[in-house]
Amino acid sequence: MKWHRVKAMLLNNYYITTNSADRLFDILYWPMLDILIWGFMTYFISGISEVNILSFVLGGLLLWVFIWRSSQDFVIYVLENFWSRNIYHLYATPLRDSEMIVSLGIFGVVRSFIAFLVMNIISFALYKFNILSFNLLHAVAFISILLIFAWAIGLIITSFVFRFGTRMQVLAWSVIWIIQPFSCIFYPLSALPAWAAKIAIVLPTTHVFEGLRASLAGYPLSAGSLLYALGFSIAFLIFASWVIVKAIKTARSKGSFAKPE
Amino acid sequence: MDTISVKNLVKTFPAKKGRITAVDNISFNVKKGEFFGLLGVNGAGKSTTTNILSGLMTADSGQVNIFGKDFTKHEEEIKSRSNVATAYYGFNYRLTIMQNLKIYARLYNVKNEKEKINELAEKFAIKRLLNTQMRALSSGETTRAVLTKSLLNDPELLFLDECTVGLDPDMAEVTRDVLKNYNKENQCTVLFTSHYMQEVEDLCHRIAFMNQGKIVRIGTSVELLKELEKQRVTLHFSRNKDKAKKILLRAGIEFTESQGQLDFYIENRKRVIYPILENLIQNKVIFDNIHLEKPTLEDYFIRESRRK
DSSP B136: G
What are the tens digits of pLDDT across the range A10-36? 999 999 999 988 888 888 888 888 888
Q: What is residue B184's predicted lDDT score, i.e. its pLDDT?
A: 95
Residue A260 in domain: no
Locate the chain B residue with the closest alpha carbon to A9: B103
Please indicate if any CB of chain A lies within 8 Å of the CB of B266: no
Q: What are phi and psi of B289, to 5 degrees?
A: -155, 155
Query: Looking at the whole model, is its pTM more than 0.90?
Result: no
* Of B268, B232, B276, B286, the residue nearest B251 (C-alpha): B276
Q: How far is it, in rounded angstroms, from Cα A91 to Cα A162?
A: 13
Residue A174 in domain: yes
* Of B241, B16, B53, the residue nearest B161 (C-alpha): B53
Q: Of the candidates A15, A84, A255, which has its C-beta nearest B51's C-beta?
A: A255
Q: What is residue B308's predicted lDDT score, i.e. its pLDDT?
A: 58
Determine, for residues B95 and A95 on separate chains, whether the beta-carbon distance falls below 8 Å: no
Determine, for residues B146 and A95 on separate chains, whether the beta-carbon distance falls below 8 Å: no
pLDDT band for B224, please (50, 70, 90 cuts): confident
Q: What are phi and psi of B185, to 5 degrees?
A: -70, -30
Contact B54, A257 (CB under 8 A): no
What are the tens digits of pLDDT across the range B171-191? 999 999 999 999 999 999 999
Determine, for residues A8 and B107 on separate chains, whether the beta-carbon distance falls below 8 Å: yes
DSSP A220: P
What are the tens digits of pLDDT across the range B5-54? 999 999 999 988 889 999 999 999 999 999 999 998 888 999 999 999 99
Locate the chain A residue with the closest alpha carbon to B56: A258
Determine, for residues B58 and A252 on separate chains, whether the beta-carbon distance falls below 8 Å: yes
Which whole number is the average pLDDT over B127-145?
A: 95
- Report the C-alpha dihedral over residues B130, B133, B139, B141, rounded to 10 degrees: -10
**Structural domain count of chain A:** 1
Q: In angstroms, what CA-CA distances link A171 with A68, A161, A174, A175?
A: 13, 9, 5, 5
* Of A101, A25, A23, the residue nearest B92 (C-alpha): A23
High-pLDDT (> 90) share of chain B, %: 62
Locate the chain A residue with the closest alpha carbon to B59: A253
- The neighbouring-strand residues paired with B217 are B209
Please indicate if any CB of chain A lies within 8 Å of the CB of B246: no
Enclosing domain of residue A112: 3-254
- The neighbouring-strand residues paired with A135 are none
Residue A259 in domain: no
Which residues in chain A have their CB less than 8 angstroms from residue B163's CB? Answer: none
pLDDT band for A154, please (50, 70, 90 cuts): very high
Which residues in chain B have their CB less than 8 angstroms from residue A20's CB? Answer: 94
What are the tens digits of pLDDT across the range B242-296? 889 999 998 888 888 888 899 888 887 777 788 888 888 898 888 899 988 877 8
Which residues in chain A have their CB less than 8 angstroms from residue B54's CB? Answer: 92
User: β-strand B189-193 against B157-161: which pairing, if any?
Assistant: parallel
Determine, for residues A258 and B90 on separate chains, whether the beta-carbon distance falls below 8 Å: no
Which residues in chain B have their CB less than 8 angstroms from residue A85's CB? Answer: 89-90
Residue A261 in domain: no
Give buried/exposed letters for B282-308 (b at 16+ CB in 10 A, else e).
Answer: eeebebeeeeeeebebebbbeebbeee
Which residues in chain A have their CB less than 8 angstroms from residue B146's CB? Answer: 89
Please indicate if any CB of chain A lies within 8 Å of the CB of B77: yes
Please indicate if any CB of chain A lies within 8 Å of the CB of B86: yes
- Report the C-alpha dihedral over residues B122, B125, B128, B129, rounded to 10 degrees: -120
For residue B66, pLDDT beyond 80:
yes
Which residue type is seen at A94? P
Determine, for residues A12 and B56 on separate chains, whether the beta-carbon distance falls below 8 Å: no
Helix (H, G, I), strand (E, B) or coil at B11: strand
Residue A14 in domain: yes
Query: Shortest Cα distance from A190 to chain B (angstroms)?
Result: 48
Judging by beta carbons within 10 Å of its beta carbon (0-12, 13-18, 19+), is residue B90 exposed, middle or buried? Answer: buried
The ipTM (two decimal places) reads 0.90
For residue A51, pLDDT beyond 70:
no
Q: How far is it, in rounded angstroms, from Cα B83 to Cα B151?
A: 7
- The neighbouring-strand residues paired with B207 are B37, B219
